[in-house]
Amino acid sequence: MTAPFILSVSNRKGGSAKSTTVVNLAAEWAAGGRRVLVIDLDTQGHAGLGLGIEATKSMPGVHDVFRDRGADIAPVIVATAWPNLWCAPADPLYDGADARFDAVSLRRQLRRPEMAAYDVILLDTPPSLDLILTNAMAAADGVLIPFLAHALSAEGVKQLSRLFYKMVTTVNPDLKMMGLLPVMASPRIGHHRAVIADIGRQFGADRILRPIRTDIQLAAAFAARKPIRHFAPRCRGALDYFLLADELASSWCWPGKAGAAALHVARERRLGGQLPLKSASDL
């Protein structure tokens, strides 16, 4: 069995749809037959909630790994309601006061032989610059940066990029930049178009991924504790995350994409001809 691909979904700015992106990418890949593990490193626990798992005081959380260097992540992992999809929920009470870990504690855990049971591991990270975010970047094979089409977003991307390059030049030289993902983007708002174009100029237009358009159904799905494909599969948010999952799989040759083009065409027809955005320039 081969080692899983580990993707850290990160941004130094809060409220940038990290959890939404983690939950919906995980659901797309799991529906395609890949074994997917979501690790919720943000003590808010939103990724777990989006998968129908609400952490309790008596429930073990992934942050136990950071309390005890000898702790094993395996007992923390729970199955979700959907096939091929598991979650290691956050500990909402973790405050770091009893931390006993270094910058590569998580990497040691995720490189254990038993982790080969998964094809993809998605890390939902906290926005704060702390050792947990550093651990995520040290453990990951790739980093995806979602950002709001808002004037302050460039600063969050810039701060995360600085950490990315620090990790590449120190503990994780194989770390790859998967791309910059505009979220909650509306083609009718000039400010959104301008922000995405500006970030493209700063960090490279080729790094800007297909935008996730504004869709209230994404918020409704979280309220229902379900990924969007299982809540409102015909909405544009579901289509956008389906296409994003396919784009990432195609670009990096994981996890397989057999039949994705045919699925795309069929789904687009079911949506009544509503075409997805192909790039930031289509906004």
What is the pTM for the complete model shown? 0.87
- Whether the CB-CB separation of 30 and 82 falls below 8 Å is answered with yes
Give pLDDT tens digits for 74-128.
899 999 999 999 999 998 888 876 667 778 889 989 999 999 999 999 999 998 8
Residue 283 has pLDDT above 60, yes or no: no
Q: Given pLDDT bands bounded at 50, 70 and 90, which one contains residue 22?
A: very high
Q: Which has the higher per-residue pLDDT, 196 or 256?
A: 196
Burial label for 58, CB within 10 Å (0-12, 13-18, 19+), is exposed
Which of 89-93, 176-180, 197-201, 224-228 has the largest mean confidence?
A: 224-228
Single-letter amino acid code for the residue at 269: R
- Whether the CB-CB separation of 159 and 189 falls below 8 Å is answered with no
Residue 262 has pLDDT above 50, yes or no: no
Domains defined for the chain, CATH in brackets? 5-282 (3.40.50.300)
Whose CA is closest to 48, among 72, 84, 28, 78?
A: 78
Residue 194 has pLDDT above 70, yes or no: yes
Q: Given pLDDT bands bounded at 50, 70 and 90, which one contains residue 260?
A: very low
Q: Match 């799905």 to its residue by tokens.
A: 221
Q: Quick one: pLDDT at residue 72?
A: 84
Q: Quick one: pLDDT at residue 277?
A: 42
- Distance (Å, whole) CA 225 – CA 149: 25
Burial label for 75, CB within 10 Å (0-12, 13-18, 19+), is exposed
- Distance (Å, whole) CA 220 – CA 243: 20
How far from each other are the two terminal CA atoms of the chain, in whole angstroms?
42
H or E stretch at 134 = helix 131-139
Percent of the chain residues topping a pLDDT of 90: 54
Residue 254 has pLDDT above 90, yes or no: no
Characterize the bridge pairing of strands 78-79 and 176-185. Answer: unpaired
Phi and psi at residue 64, in whole multiples of 5°? -60, -30
Rounded to the nearest angstrom, the gap between the alpha carbon of residue 199 and the centroid of all alpha carbons in its chain is: 20
Residue 253's CB is within 10 A of a number of other CB atoms, namely: 9
Report, as an integer, the average pLDDT of 58-66. Answer: 82
In this structure, of 7-21, 85-99, 257-271, the range with the lowest mean pLDDT score is 257-271
